């Protein structure tokens, strides 16, 4: 959970080689990387820039006379900063640098760069490398810094699957300007399942503990109740159980789309890139944010013991919340999706609705109202409505400012809060739709019934959560919202008997969870005492600090 020094080797270094190195290059490098004869990381972010990749300062200047690239970090803000596994573990890196050929700045490109000697592991001449120090979490990963002092690498270390520099300096452009960003798109495609998994771990702990913990009464005179029987506890936990499933289903779809993209790109078809970039930008942002909220609620649902490290939830939170920042800061990524949504609105306004992709086609179709009692399909129409409403509102605001003479960037900035709201609603619609489709495909009728309950819980919770949008233009009435509330409470109670099975079905072992509260055998109290007794402070009855500090203070006559 705390991370692994080789995580980035598997998650980004190898995938970057697969997606961006040519077959010939990969004959040399990929097998060695897969066998872990070399260990790599993905070095892109710098001390001064992470979000705005066009302003990366590390340069790779082509020297035609030696057929080498010269890597250089001209100032302190150009140092690579943050890459996982860079500090101490990696001897190679995929380095993203601004490529300069014949004095022309050609933008960020990826290079395979050796950082350390393969035998001694010492850093090579011209390389400055080290660890950036402790972080909120993820402390088993050595996130690092890296500087280059006119460090030379062969021309053939530019990853050349999609773009090339010939020996004479002729540049062959890639089929899509952003194709070098594929390693990021890959991780973003995987993040929904990864985050769903973090959320699932926290929920397993909280739900199991909530059946062990007894506190207070629902009916007087009875035995104290399991805290999971309180409606508030169910409301805190069960919608997140539904989300953990929903995120996993959505993630399966984006992983499949990424694999499809890789194949298509190899045949020169880059049409899926814009769609997948927009989709994964929104999904990573919504999923990481909601996961962090869900984990924090799970911690609070464990009361005081949730705050102890024995719960292990704080560690899960620390790791998961990193996802709000890495692979693109969430606001920045929501705004990437917003670009796509605004373009879609512009297409509709230009009478080109027919050209819209399937995920945004709903933006062109107005619905007057819904009958929620007819079921989940009507909820989908309601989600479409609020997303369409907000997307049009935000787009119109931006376009109006533009028309009034504001510069594009200024108009964009002045509309950006509204735009991010549209992106979130669009993404939540996508999550609900993939959840619905995935449940429909389940063959086992008993499993399908339980998952359908979760789906119903999800759509009612979500609609209530975005109710202000639906009330704003009178699309939903307050009596319809009362119906949604009643449905929500109905499904909380219906799910209660299956709650433990739902979390157990994720099959986390005690070793994985590392939680005293979430133990499969439920022996929480004995083990909390044993855990406390094992605290380093309890190794001796009297601590050395008693003689050193406490006694002088207590004996002081002052
Ligand atoms: C996108 C940016 C914000 C802007 O980029 P640019 O400045 O280059 O863009 P422009 O403004 O010039 O143009 C915008 C234009 O380009 C399109 N675009 C942008 N990106 C893409 C893309 N990727 N694909 C397609 N198109 C793209 C965009 O749509 C616009 O098009 P239009 O003009 O037509 O509108 C960019 O700067 C950016 O991406 N910034 C964010 C930087 C970032 O994400 N950095 C990440 C660094 S690496 C990192 O953080 C690694 C962290 C890893 C942590 C470890 C995690 C471990 C656990 C992970 C769990 C995953 C599990 C995986 C498991 C497994 O392996 O199986
Ligand atoms: C745990 C962890 C692991 C990481 N691993 C790696 C790795 O392996 N390799 C690697 O290269 N990097 C890695 N990173 C770096 C990470 O990708 C960046 O930190 C991330 O992309 C955010 O960029 P930034 O730090 O420049 O944030 P900033 O862009 O400085 O963000 C600061 C604030 O500015 C806002 N902001 C910035 N630009 C805009 C804009 N255009 N519009 C509106 N608001 C904006 C943001 O929303 C945010 O609120 C890692 C980071 C973390 C935390």
Measure the CA–CA gap between 179 and 21, rounded to whole angstroms: 12
* Cβ–Cβ under 8 Å, residues 57 and 48: yes
Please state the length of the chain.
Answer: 558
Cα–Cα nearest to 312, from 188, 205, 168: 205
Average model confidence (pLDDT) across the chain: 97
Distance 411 CA to ligand 2 centre (A): 23
Catalytic site positions: 327
Measure the CA–CA gap between 461 and 101, rounded to whole angstroms: 55
pLDDT at 192 over 90: yes
- DSSP character for 385? H
- The ligand that comes nearest to the alpha carbon of residue 86 is 2
Give residue-wise pLDDT tens across range 132-188. 999 999 999 999 999 999 999 999 999 999 999 999 999 999 999 999 898 999 999
pLDDT at position 213 is 98
Ligand 2 near 25 CB (within 6 A) = no
pLDDT at position 117 is 98
Measure the CA–CA gap between 142 and 43, rounded to whole angstroms: 13
Give residue-wise pLDDT tens across range 439-490. 999 999 999 999 999 999 999 999 999 999 999 999 999 999 999 999 999 9
Task: Provide mean pLDDT across the span 271-287.
Answer: 96
What band does 304 get if pLDDT is binned at 50, 70 and 90? very high
Give residue-wise pLDDT tens across range 395-416. 999 999 999 999 999 999 999 9
Q: Which residues contact 89 (CB under 8 A, 6 or more apart)?
A: 5, 6, 9, 39, 41, 142
Q: Which residues contact 215 (CB under 8 A, 6 or more apart)?
A: 224, 225, 227, 303
Q: Which atom of ligand 2 is nearest to the CA of 137?
A: 1
Protein residue whose Cα sits closest to atom 48 of ligand 2: 329
Ligand 2 near 274 CB (within 6 A) = no
Q: Which residues contact 487 (CB under 8 A, 6 or more apart)?
A: 372, 456, 460
pLDDT at 1 over 80: no
* Cβ–Cβ under 8 Å, residues 95 and 41: no
Angle between helices 330-349 and 416-440 (to 10 degrees): 90
Cα–Cα nearest to 395, from 449, 341, 431: 341
What band does 221 get if pLDDT is binned at 50, 70 and 90? confident
ipTM for the complex shown: 0.97
**Domains of the chain and any CATH numbers:** 7-173 (2.40.110.10), 184-352+380-394+421-498 (1.20.140.10)
Measure the CA–CA gap between 62 and 158, rounded to whole angstroms: 10
pLDDT at 517 over 90: yes
The alpha carbon of residue 330 and the mean position of all alpha carbons in its chain are separated, in whole angstroms, by: 9
- The ligand that comes nearest to the alpha carbon of residue 7 is 1
pLDDT at 3 over 90: no
Ligand 2 near 82 CB (within 6 A) = yes
Sign (positive or negative) of CA dihedral 194, 196, 202, 208: negative
Distance 20 CA to ligand 1 centre (A): 15
**Residue 45 marked as a ligand binder:** yes
Ligand 2 near 356 CB (within 6 A) = no
**Residue 48 marked as a ligand binder:** no
Query: Containing H/E element for 278?
Result: helix 272-301
Give residue-wise pLDDT tens across range 229-270. 999 999 999 999 999 999 999 999 999 999 999 999 989 899
**Helices marked H in 441-523:** 445-465, 467-472, 478-495, 499-504, 510-513
* The token pair that represents 372 in the structure block: 């929620």
Ligand 2 near 5 CB (within 6 A) = no
Query: Containing H/E element for 151?
Result: strand 151-154
């Amino acid at each position: 959970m705390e991370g692994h020094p080789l995580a980035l080797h598997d998650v980004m270094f190898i995938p970057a080689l697969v997606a961006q190195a040519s077959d010939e290059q990969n004959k040399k490098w990929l097998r060695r990387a897969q066998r872990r004869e070399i260990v790599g990381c993905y070095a892109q972010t710098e001390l001064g820039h992470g979000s705005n990749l066009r302003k990366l300062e590390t340069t790779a200047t082509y020297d035609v006379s030696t057929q080498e690239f010269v890597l250089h970090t001209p100032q302190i803000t150009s140092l690579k900063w943050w890459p996982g596994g860079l500090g101490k573990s990696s001897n190679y890196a995929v380095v993203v640098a601004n490529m300069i050929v014949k004095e022309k700045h050609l933008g960020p490109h990826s290079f395979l760069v050796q950082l350390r000697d393969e035998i001694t592991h010492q850093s090579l001449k011209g390389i400055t490398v080290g660890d950036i120090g402790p972080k909120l979490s993820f402390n088993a990963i050595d996130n690092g810094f890296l500087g280059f002092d006119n460090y030379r690498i062969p021309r053939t270390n530019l990853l050349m699957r999609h773009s090339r520099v010939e020996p004479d300096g002729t540049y062959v452009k890639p089929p899509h300007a952003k194709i070098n960003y594929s390693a990021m798109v890959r991780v973003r495609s995987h993040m929904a399942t990864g985050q769903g998994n973090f959320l699932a771990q926290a929920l397993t702990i909280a739900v199991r503990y909530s059946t062990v913990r007894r506190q207070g009464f629902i009916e007087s005179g009875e035995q104290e109740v399991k805290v999971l029987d309180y409606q508030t506890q169910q409301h805190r936990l069960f919608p997140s159980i539904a989300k953990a499933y929903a995120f996993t289903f959505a993630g399966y779809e984006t992983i499949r789309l990424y694999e499809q993209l890789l194949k298509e790109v190899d045949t020169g078809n880059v049409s899926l890139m814009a769609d997948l970039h927009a989709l994964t930008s929104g999904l990573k942002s919504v999923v990481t944010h909601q996961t962090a909220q869900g984990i924090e609620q799970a911690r609070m649902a464990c009361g005081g013991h949730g705050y102890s490290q024995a719960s292990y939830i704080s560690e899960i939170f620390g790791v998961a919340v990193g996802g709000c920042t890495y692979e693109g800061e969430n606001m920045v990524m929501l705004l990437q999706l917003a670009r796509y949504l605004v373009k879609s609105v512009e297409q509709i306004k230009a009478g080109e609705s027919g050209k819209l992709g399937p995920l945004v086609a709903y933006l062109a179709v107005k619905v007057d109202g819904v009958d929620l009692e007819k079921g989940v399909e009507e909820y989908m129409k309601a989600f479409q409505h609020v997303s369409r409403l907000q997307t049009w509102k935000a787009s119109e605001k931006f376009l109006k400012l533009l028309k009034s003479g504001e510069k594009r960037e200024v108009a964009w900035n002045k509309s950006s809060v509204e735009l991010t709201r549209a992106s979130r609603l669009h993404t939540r619609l996508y999550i609900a739709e993939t959840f619905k489709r995935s449940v429909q495909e389940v063959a086992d009728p008993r499993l399908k019934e339980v998952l359908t309950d979760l789906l119903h819980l999800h759509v009612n919770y979500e609609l209530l959560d975005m109710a202000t949008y639906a009330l704003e233009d009178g699309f939903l009435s307050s009596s319809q919202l009362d119906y949604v509330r009643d449905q929500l409470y109905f499904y909380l109670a219906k799910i209660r008997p299956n709650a433990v099975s739902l979390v157990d079905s994720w099959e986390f072992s005690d070793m994985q969870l590392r939680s005293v509260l979430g133990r499969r055998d439920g022996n929480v109290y004995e083990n909390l005492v044993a855990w406390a007794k094992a605290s380093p402070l309890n190794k001796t009855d009297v601590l050395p600090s008693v003689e050193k500090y406490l006694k002088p203070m207590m004996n002081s006559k002052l």
